[in-house]
């Protein structure tokens, strides 16, 4: 690994310039102090003081193959030397190869890929396709979800980021399964699954099946808490969509490309969606890329009808070459298998042991290298350590302890997510748990029996 750059003056300059000229997303600008990042490699990044962070956030859960993977960096350089950019109306080898590989890992039901710049516009265009294909307008999605920050995508979102952005029409929310905070008074996974599906069917009936174009679901809701669906839930959604002639859009933006140990998280079920949206891990975030994977029946809708959507950088050759190299590296280095092993052998057992030791952990759930925890003040009442839609001094203290100890988690409200690279080593996975254990010990005083 490269030695961290130590240059405090440069770090101060980077911070000052950032504060002066950069407008940050989802933030009150005067209340943030971003880390000035000097470099990164593998499962780590570091600042200009030389402090290293073990990246259990994968930034925004996108550096799936870690930082600076040499095969992918080389592919970007080689593509830049051949064809750095071209308008989307032209064919190019990089886009062809990326589309072929994505369709291959999605499964035989799929035929083509519409490329976007990121996840939000992937969702936006999947919704557009669904509405035109079905001649219906409503989109059903869960309250605990995030689908992006464009017009329809943010309205499909089920967390508070939607509230100031509600301008699109035709969006209806329902409760998805979440046994720890069940909306259905369920006592086990089977009950939660059955009752969540009954609730979804009632929502469909009372909204009117002939008005509903699609059910949009994160296959494993990510920012909402890594809410792994109970066995049979996605299969049940598929059955309901078939029964009422509704499309199922699987949002795989965060859960896809190895995060759960599969190419797509829906592949843990026996069901296949009608459309798949992807981004993030497809290029490990090295160059932005997203898209929609489309089956033949929807492709045919637009054989003679113009699809009313497009982006200047759709299928950008640099991004697509990055996707090809990323998929090839994942296959060659058996990264999906590694993610499964790390989850089953280290992270899952390790986090459950930490929950026995630290009572602030109310619930542990996850799969592969995709893990979430509810941090609580009291296990009996399940009172969250921070209110819904906000943070708290106690949660901020936990996050600060993690960072002080050299661990970068991915927090949201009262939840903490641990989402390391899919190719993380056993040693680094174990080290992450040790650093988390140390950090949890520093907030014990905030738990009350």
pLDDT at 202: 98
pLDDT at 134: 98
Clarify whether residues 297 and 424 are in a common domain.
Answer: no
Q: Token match 């949890």: residue?
A: 440
Clarify whether residues 262 and 351 are in a common domain.
Answer: no
Q: Is 335's pLDDT higher than 80?
A: yes
Clarify whether residues 225 and 298 are in a common domain.
Answer: yes
pLDDT at 4: 77
CATH of the domain at 385: 3.90.1150.10
pLDDT at 2: 74
Are the CB atoms for 119 and 285 separated by under 8 Å?
A: no
Clarify whether residues 325 and 297 are in a common domain.
Answer: yes
Q: Tell me which residue range forms the domain holding 370.
A: 8-68+334-446
163 pLDDT band (50/70/90 cuts)?
Answer: confident
> What distance in Å separates the CA atoms of residue 39 and residue 351, rounded to the nearest whole number?
29
> What distance in Å separates the CA atoms of residue 56 and residue 310, rounded to the nearest whole number?
35
Clarify whether residues 31 and 168 are in a common domain.
Answer: no
161 pLDDT band (50/70/90 cuts)?
Answer: confident
Any domain includes 2 = no
Among residues of the chain, what percentage have pLDDT more than 90? 92
3-state SS, one letter per residue, for 269-305: CCCCCCEEEECHHHCCCCCCCEEEEEEHHHHHHCCCC
Q: pLDDT tens digits, residue range 250-277?
A: 999 999 999 999 999 999 999 999 999 9
Clarify whether residues 224 and 275 are in a common domain.
Answer: yes
Clarify whether residues 306 and 342 are in a common domain.
Answer: no
Clarify whether residues 295 and 370 are in a common domain.
Answer: no
pLDDT at 403: 97
Clarify whether residues 342 and 354 are in a common domain.
Answer: yes
Q: Please give the average per-residue pLDDT across 407-430, as a whole number.
A: 97
Kindly give the residue spans of alpha helices, DSSP state H, lying in 31-150.
58-61, 70-82, 93-106, 119-134
Any domain includes 89 = yes
Clarify whether residues 390 and 432 are in a common domain.
Answer: yes
> What distance in Å separates the CA atoms of residue 287 and residue 34, rounded to the nearest whole number?
21
Q: pLDDT tens digits, residue range 304-332?
A: 999 999 999 999 999 999 999 999 999 99
pLDDT at 16: 96
> What distance in Å separates the CA atoms of residue 299 and residue 113, rounded to the nearest whole number?
10
Q: Is 53's pLDDT higher than 90?
A: yes
pLDDT at 448: 77
> What distance in Å separates the CA atoms of residue 197 and residue 182, rounded to the nearest whole number?
13
Q: Please give the average per-residue pLDDT across 87-107, as a whole number.
A: 98
Clarify whether residues 293 and 216 are in a common domain.
Answer: yes
Clarify whether residues 74 and 178 are in a common domain.
Answer: yes
Any domain includes 3 = no
Task: Write out the E strands in 338-389.
Answer: 361-367, 370-378, 383-384
Question: Of 317, 332, 347, which residue constitutes the final position of a domain?
Answer: 332
* Average pLDDT of the chain, as a whole number: 96
pLDDT at 162: 81
Question: Of 332, 360, 383, which residue constitutes the final position of a domain?
Answer: 332
Q: How many domains does the chain have?
A: 2
Q: pLDDT tens digits, residue range 187-235?
A: 999 999 999 999 999 999 999 999 999 999 999 999 999 999 999 999 9
Any domain includes 353 = yes
């Amino acid at each position: 690994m490269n030695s961290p750059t130590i240059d405090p003056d440069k770090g101060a300059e980077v911070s000052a310039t950032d504060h002066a000229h950069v407008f940050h997303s989802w933030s009150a600008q005067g209340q943030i102090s971003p880390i000035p990042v000097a470099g990164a490699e593998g499962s780590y990044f570091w600042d200009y003081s030389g402090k290293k962070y073990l990246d259990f956030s994968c930034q925004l859960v996108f550096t799936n193959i870690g930082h600076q993977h040499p095969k992918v960096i080389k592919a970007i350089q080689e593509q830049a030397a051949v064809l750095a950019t071209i308008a989307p109306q032209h064919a190019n080898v990089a886009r062809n190869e990326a589309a072929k590989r994505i369709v291959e890992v999605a499964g035989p039901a799929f035929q083509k890929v519409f490329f976007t710049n990121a996840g939000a516009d992937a969702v936006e265009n999947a919704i557009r396709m669904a509405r035109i294909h079905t001649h219906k307008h409503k989109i059903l999605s869960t309250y605990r979800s995030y689908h992006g920050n464009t017009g329809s995508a943010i309205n499909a979102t089920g967390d508070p980021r939607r509230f100031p952005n509600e301008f699109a029409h035709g969006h209806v929310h329902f409760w998805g399964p979440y046994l720890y905070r069940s909306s259905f008074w369920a006592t086990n996974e089977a009950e939660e699954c059955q009752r969540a599906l009954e609730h979804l069917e009632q929502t469909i009936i009372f909204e009117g099946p002939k008005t509903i174009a699609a059910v949009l679901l994160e296959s494993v809701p990510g920012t909402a808490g890594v809410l792994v669906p109970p066995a049979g839930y996605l299969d049940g959604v598929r059955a309901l969509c078939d029964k009422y002639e509704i499309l199922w859009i699987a949002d795989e933006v965060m859960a896809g490309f190895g995060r759960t140990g599969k190419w797509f998280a829906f592949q843990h079920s026996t069901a296949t969606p009608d459309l798949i949206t992807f981004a993030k891990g497809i290029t490990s975030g090295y160059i932005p890329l997203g898209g929609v994977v489309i089956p033949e029946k929807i492709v045919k809708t637009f054989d003679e009808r113009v699809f009313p959507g497009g982006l200047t950088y759709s299928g950008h050759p640099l991004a697509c070459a990055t996707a090809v190299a990323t998929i090839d590296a994942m296959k060659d280095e058996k990264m999906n298998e590694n993610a499964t092993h790390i989850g089953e052998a280290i992270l899952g057992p390790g986090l459950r042991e930490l929950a026995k030791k630290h009572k602030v952990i109310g619930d542990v759930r996850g799969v592969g290298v995709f893990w979430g925890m509810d941090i609580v003040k009291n296990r009996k009442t399940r009172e969250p350590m921070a209110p819904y839609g906000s943070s708290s001094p106690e949660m901020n203290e936990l996050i600060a302890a993690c960072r002080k100890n050299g661990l970068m988690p991915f927090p949201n409200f009262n939840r903490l997510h641990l989402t390391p690279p899919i190719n993380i080593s056993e040693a680094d996975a174990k080290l992450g748990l040790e650093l988390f254990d140390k950090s949890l010990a520093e907030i014990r005083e905030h738990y009350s029996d």
